[in-house]
Each structure stands twice: as C-alpha cells, then as structure tokens.
Structure 1
Amino acid sequence: MSQTLHGFSGVVRHLLATFLAVSLVACSSGPQKPKPAELSPGVDLLGVRQAWVTKIAEVSLPLDVRVVDQRVAVAASNGTVAVLDASTGADIWRFSLGSPLSAGIGYDGQRAAVVTLGNEVVVLEAGRETWRQRLNAVSLTAPLVAGGRVFVLGADRTVSAFDGQSGRRLWQQQRSGEALVLRQAGVLMAVGDTLVVGLSGKLVGLNPLNGSVRWEAAIASPRGVNDIERLVDLVAGVSREGTVICARAFQAAVGCADAARGTVLWTKPATGATGVRGDRDFIFGAEADGTVVAWRRADGERAWTQELLRYRNLGTPLAAGRSVVVGDGTGLLHFLSREDGSPMARVSTDGTAIVAAPVLAGNTLVVVTRGGGVFGFRPE
C-alpha cells in the first residue's frame, strides 16, 4: 500500500490515505453490525428537563462546541456559525459564510474560527468575517483561539499560528511521519503558556510564540508491519485537571501526562475511537463496542464498566456533577452515575445522532445533533 501511495502528489496522497484509513476501520466489523442493546425502562433518579431548543443546519463536520461564560459557539456543515445565549438558546449573533466547513469551532468570547472545505481558516467577530487565510492541507480539528492568536492543526500534522487581529501567519511547525493519518479531529489546546498538540500518538508541548518543541509524551506508539497497523493518532476530547491531561489514542490506549513536566503518568490499553472527559477522580470514555468505562485518574485502573449501552454508537461523555452524560447515535442522552455507572436518567432530542460532546454552560447542558438541533437541558 505504501508503494502505491507514494506515486501520488502530496495532496492526493493525503486524501487517499485518510479515506483508506477510515474505510478500513469502518469495515473491520464486517457487513453485519451488532444490534444495539435493548434499553431498560426509563429511570428517573435525576430530574432533567428541556429548557430550550434551536436550529442551525446539518452537522456532519467534526464539531467542538465552545463555551465562554453564558455564550455557546456552534457551527454547521453548510457554513453557518452562531453564538447562542445559553440561558435562552437565542442568537447573540449568527452568520453564514457561504462556504462548507471541514472543522469548527474555536472561540474565546471575542473571535470565532472555523476551517472551510476549501482549506481556509476563517475568523469572525460580532457576526462578521474579519479575515481568512489559506492553509496548506485539510484540517479536521477545531481551531484554537487563545492569547490573541489562532492556532490550526492540519491533517498533515502541520501546526500553524496566525495573528488573531490581522490574520498574518506567525509561524508553522510541520511533523513528517506516517503515510496514513486518521480522518478525525485531533488534540489542540492551551495549558498555561504551552500549546499542547496531538501528533501521532504523542502529546507535544509547543512554545506558542514560535512553535518550538518543549516536550513530548507518548500515549501510544505505532506497532505492526504495515501502514494500517501502524496508524496511531490522538482523538479530540481530553480531560484536563490542572496541568494533567488525559487523552485517547485511537483504538489503542488511554493515558495521562503532566504538561508541566512533559512526562507520561500512565497509559492503559483501550479500544475506543472517541474522546474522553473526566473530573478530579475519574476519566470516562466509551469503548468501540459501547461499553462505558471509568478509569481512576490517579493510576489508570478501571473503577467500573457499564455494558447497558453497547453498540449504540456512543460519543465523548461529559462529567457533570454526580453523573456522566453521553449521547448516542439515535439522539438519546444517557445519564449514568459517576460512582458505579448505573443509569440515572435518559432524555431524547430529535432522533438524529448527537455529534459533539455535551458541554455545560452554567447550569445548562447543551448538546448538538446531526440534524442541526441545539438543545439546552437543565436539572428540575
């Protein structure tokens, strides 16, 4: 496979590689998919009510919903970008770029940033476009808007920094590596004065001023004899407590690293494809078969597993108070006990898959569906 791919140009090679990686992973379970687990009768140990609902457009891009104070930033595949009031769901502002998106959304309370299918990073303020810049490759990861800059992680493992006001490119850091990359959002975040990026199976700390590498911490390493078997990438959805970051390597491992020292604290084998979230005690994630797992943050040992939601196409969970909240492929939102994983409540949305990790804005739980529904839930 490697010899065949090497005959293409760089761009075509990258697109073919990502397509092959995803196609092979999707087909690995064979044509007969296991049936989702039958749900038990609804439980009502935790009162949850729908407070509001609004609509954007279909969401098929890797979406990272951002919250700043009581403002929630969302984006749709057709180029709709909106900032909502978390208390009511009403628009603070909304803008249509007229360009389909490949990734979104970055937001710092002032600037919002998305990436188009035409490989342009676009920045908006107060509901109007302020600048856009061409990228060298497709990006599937939401830009990071922080410290007056906009950072972009390309699917070719290029990290770029732009001035937030003018759009001037400040620096670019490229990591050469494997022939294949995962067509899925990766890790891009700020921890103190360090830019933390997921490159292959490593968390890498960069100086945000010039892109120089400060440290590297391997959550998983490539293994196998061919490009498919050696594919390893960190996926979007991480848990941060202080300087400790916990992340998932696609279908390989879950682990935690200390961003202050650049050291790995622990790693454990895990087979999931979506991100993790957590609190000060646990890390929560869904394995590929829909088993929800809680790992102890201190040492990575499993605290509990829950198999009641197997094969329901679960996304990245959220730790919220005494519950763990996770959405499934049918638009249901499941509330599990953080102590033992037992069901506590279940609410429905619009019948389409929940496509982004749930987020909290004050006491409002916000979820977005593939059909473009944005729902706000609150405790009763």
Structure 2
Amino acid sequence: MSRRLIVAALAAAVLAAGCASSGGRPKPAALQDFQPQLAAQPLWRSSVGTLNFSLTPALRGNTLVLAGSDGAVLALEAGSGRELWRASAGAPLAAGVGSDGRFASVVSRDNELLTFEGGKLLWRQRLNSRVVTAPLVAGERVFVLGVDRSVQAFDAIDGHQLWRLQRPGEPLTLLEPGVLAPFKDTLLVGQGPRLAGVDPLQGSLRWEVAVALPRGSNEVERLADLVGPAARSGDVVCARAFQSAVGCVDAQRATLLWAKNVGGIAPVGADARQVFGADASDRISAWNAASGEVAWTSDKLLNRDLSGALALERAVVFGDAQGYVHFLSRDNGQTLQRLATDGSAVVGTPLRAGDAVIVLTRKGGVFAFRPE
C-alpha cells in the first residue's frame, strides 16, 4: 500500500482507502518518451531529514521554513537554499510547519504544539486533540486544526490559548492534512465536506459552504473531508473533498461556484484560469476555473501516486512516487519536461517560490528548479 490513508474514529482507527484488493495495487504507467518543450535547470538542493507526513513548506517572502519527521525545523533562503537557522523540536513530529516569517510552529507526536522564533524555542503547549495538519501562523496567532475538526488559537508570543471552536462532526474523520488557511480577515477551515469561514479574533463561525454531499452505505464511504492545502486565486478557493468531489468557493461571497463529483485524495492546484487534479487512479483533469467544465484529461501517469498539483503560466506540475517531477502542458496535458530527484516519492504539493519550483521527497530532499 504505497499511499496510506487512515480515518480516525472516536475510539479507534480504521483503514479507509488506498488498500489494494487481492490482486495488489495496479502497476504504475510506464513513462513515455517526449520531446522537451520547456527548459528547466536545478538551482539548489538541501535536506530536511526523512518525511513521513505530507509537507508543503511555509513560504514568507524569500524565507522557506520546513520540518522533518525527526523534529528538525529549519529556514532556508528560497532563492539560494542557504540555511538561515535550524532548530529541533526534541521529538518526532506529527504535522508539518506553519510560519509567518518570524514565528514557526510544529506539532509533535506527543501532541505538543511548539513555537520557535529565529530558531529559538519560545514555548510549548499540550494539545487535547490529535493534529496532522500544519499549524497556521498569522497575525501573531497560531491556529491549530485537530483531526476531530476542533480549531484552536494561541498567542504566538507566549502560547496562551485565545479560543477554541468545536463543531459537531461525524464519527469518522480523515487522518490526512485538512484545510487551514487565511483569507483577508477570515480564517478558512475545513469542517468535514464544508469550507467554513471563522472569525480569527473570536473563534466564531461566520459562514460555511458545502463542497460535497457525502454518499455511501457506511461511515467510511461517506467520508468527504476537505483535503489540504486548498488552492486560492483572488477570492476563489478550490479544494478536493476526499474521494467525493472537486469544487470552488467564492470566499468573499460565501457561495459555491461549482462542484464536480470525482474521486481522488490529493490536493488540487488552481489559478484564475484552471483547476488541476488527479483522481484515485491518477487520471489528471483540468477544469475551467469559472464554470467547472472539463478542459482535458490525461491517462499518461496512471497509478504513479501523484502529488498535489502546482499551476504555472505554461505548465501544471506533479510529482510521483519514483521522485520524478512532471511539467505538463496546461493546454492539453502533454509532457513538456520531466526531472528526476532522489528516487523517493515526492510528498506534499510542489511550491512556487519566485521563479523557482520547490519539491520535497520522502527521503527529505529539498529540490529547487527554475523552469524557463
């Protein structure tokens, strides 16, 4: 089982999806020959240690903040890969890192929230809910989303709790990173299949929009939690609901623009023109961002355990389980470029930092490429 999906019940955890039947997982599609149509050169390479969880680095300005499963937390200069500072949580981590450029926060497997400033540990706080989503640091606050969908806010300077929001939920929740993001003066939170807008000062609910309608004969089949990170373009936020749908929400008006029933577990990528994502078999689709109409689909990378998607001007970028980074044409999904990393799976979602694309691998490799 190459991609491990787990759902947590109130009393126990069960395997939800990603397990193959008696025949085993389908063989990954063979890579096809192509004629490069996009130049890309490696800029720099670094390491963060082994990554046993999904990690998308926190980028603020030219500072890239990362965390490894063994507890390493470090900041790199995004343009050069130069290390700015390095610290240790002193324990293995359960979730990635959130940072506003000044403060950086992580969550340990011992269920402690730790916050650093410039590599110095400021405080630690015991949490009462398991966490697998990277904290969000904004406005001198640290926001934490639990697997039970509770949301907590802490003062970034001293760690005291400011508020806690607990919503009623289904008995099963997804043990995968959820949606936790800023939007103007609102905190966006995934609450099951709903995208919720929360007052970041008071912790009160402002609005919520359903991206999917859970279906199925049992609780596992009805799982439709929003998978993070969400993709934002202006006022529009697009996200995948686990194995259920892809949809876009106008977060300013709190309205659903469109949603399409489609399976899949990896985050989508989007900009003002298109939304991109791979389904459960890694069939890639491009949707019109305004209408949700399918622009094209591609079967070239079936069963290659694709990462989340990153939309660029000319290409959409995916990583796969063998460490390849695929640059596909936005127009038709044809391969424009393919780059190798260290042979281990690309984790999280590729990230754009200026004119560079940052990719992380299971072995902890941090790779920066510059597409021309």
1:89-111 per-position Cα deviation (integer Å, ceiling 9, x unaligned): 12111111111101111011111
Pair 1:222-2:214 in alignment: yes
In the alignment, structure 1 residue 154 sits paired with structure 2 residue 150: no
Superposed displacement of residue 13, structure 1: 4.9
Give, in angstroms, the shift of residue 306 of structure 1.
1.1
Q: 2:237 aligns with which of 225, 245, 250?
A: 245
For residue 292 of structure 1, what is the amino acid of its counterpart?
I
CA distance in 1, matches of 2:143, 2:324: 33
List per-residue Cα deviations over 1:25-67 (Å, max 9, x = no partner): 1225544211111111243111111111111210012212111
Question: Are 1:16 and 2:8 an aligned pair?
Answer: no
Q: How many Å apart are 1:242 and its aligned residue?
A: 1.4
Contact kept in structure 2, 1:251 and 1:272, CA below 8 Å: yes
Q: Does 1:265 align with 2:257?
A: yes
Is 2:56–2:351's contact at 8 Å kept on the other side of the alignment? Answer: no
Q: Deviations over 1:119-146 (max 9, x none)?
A: 1111111011111111111101010101
- State the partner residue of 2:74: 82
Alignment-derived partner of residue 307 in structure 2: 315
Deviations 1:257-281 (A, max 9, x none): 1111211111101111010111111
Number of equivalenced pairs: 365
Task: State the alpha-carbon separation in 1 of the partners of residues 312 and 191 from structure 2.
Answer: 29
Give the structure 1 partner of residue 364 of structure 2. 372
Give the partner amino acid of 1:128.
K
Q: Is the 8 A contact 2:66 2:73 kept in 1?
A: yes
* DSSP 3-state at the match of 1:298: coil
Determine if the alignment matches structure 1 residue 340 to structure 2 residue 332: yes
- Which runs of structure 2 are paired with 1:232-311 in the superposition (5 Å)? 232-311=224-303
Unaligned runs of 5+ in 2: 1-7
The alignment partner of 1:260 has SS state of coil
Tell me the alpha carbon deviations over residues 177-205 of structure 1, each in whole angstroms, 9 at most, x when there is no partner. Answer: 11111110000001010101000100000
**Which stretch of the first structure deviates more once superposed, 39-48 or 287-296?**
39-48
Query: If each structure's strand is expressed as a fraction of its own residues, which one has the higher value?
Result: 2
**Moved runs in structure 1, 4+ residues, more than 6 A?**
none
Q: Aligned-pair distance for 1:116?
A: 0.6
Matches of 1:61 and 1:40 in 2, distance apart?
Answer: 29
1:130 counterpart residue number: 122
Q: TM-score, normalised by structure 2?
A: 0.95
**SS of residue paired to 1:140:** coil
Paired amino acid for 2:275 = I
How far does the alpha carbon of each residue in 1:224-274 deviate from its partner, in whole angstroms, 9 at most, with x for none? 232112222000132211111111100100011111121111110111101
Matched, 1:195 2:187: yes
CA distance in 1, matches of 2:355, 2:269: 18
Is the contact between residue 237 and residue 277 of structure 1 (CA under 8 Å) also seen in structure 2?
no
Which letter does structure 1 place at the counterpart of 2:296? W
Distance in 2, Cα, partners of 1:36 & 1:225: 30
What's the secondary structure of 2:94's corresponding residue?
A: strand
CA contact (8 A) 1:237 1:274 kept: no
- Residue 58 in structure 1 maps to residue 54 in structure 2: no
Does the CA-based 8 Å contact 2:194-2:212 persist in structure 1? Answer: yes
Aligned equivalent of 1:95: 87
Structure 2 residue 63 is matched with structure 1 residue 67: no
SS of the aligned residue for 1:101 comes to coil
Alpha-carbon shift at residue 223 of structure 1 (Å): 2.1
Task: Give me the CA root mean square deviation.
Answer: 1.3
Q: Which residue of 2 aligns with 1:182?
A: 174
CA contact (8 A) 1:131 1:167 kept: yes
Does residue 1:37 correspond to 2:29, yes or no?
Answer: yes
Corresponding residue for 1:141? 133
SS in 2 for 1:114: strand
**How many angstroms apart in 2 are the aligned matches of 1:45 and 1:13?**
48
Residues 150 and 167 in structure 2, CA contact (< 8 A), matched pair in contact too? yes
Amino acid at match of 1:303: A
State the AA in 1 paired with 2:50: E
Q: Which amino acid in the other structure matches residue 205 of structure 1?
A: G
Partner Cα distance (2:304, 2:257) in 1: 31
Quick one: distance in 2 between partners of 1:357 and 1:229?
A: 25
DSSP-derived class of the 1:103 partner? coil
CA distance in 1 between partners of 2:225 and 2:120 (Å)? 34
Residue 96 of structure 2 is aligned with which of 104, 127, 144?
Answer: 104
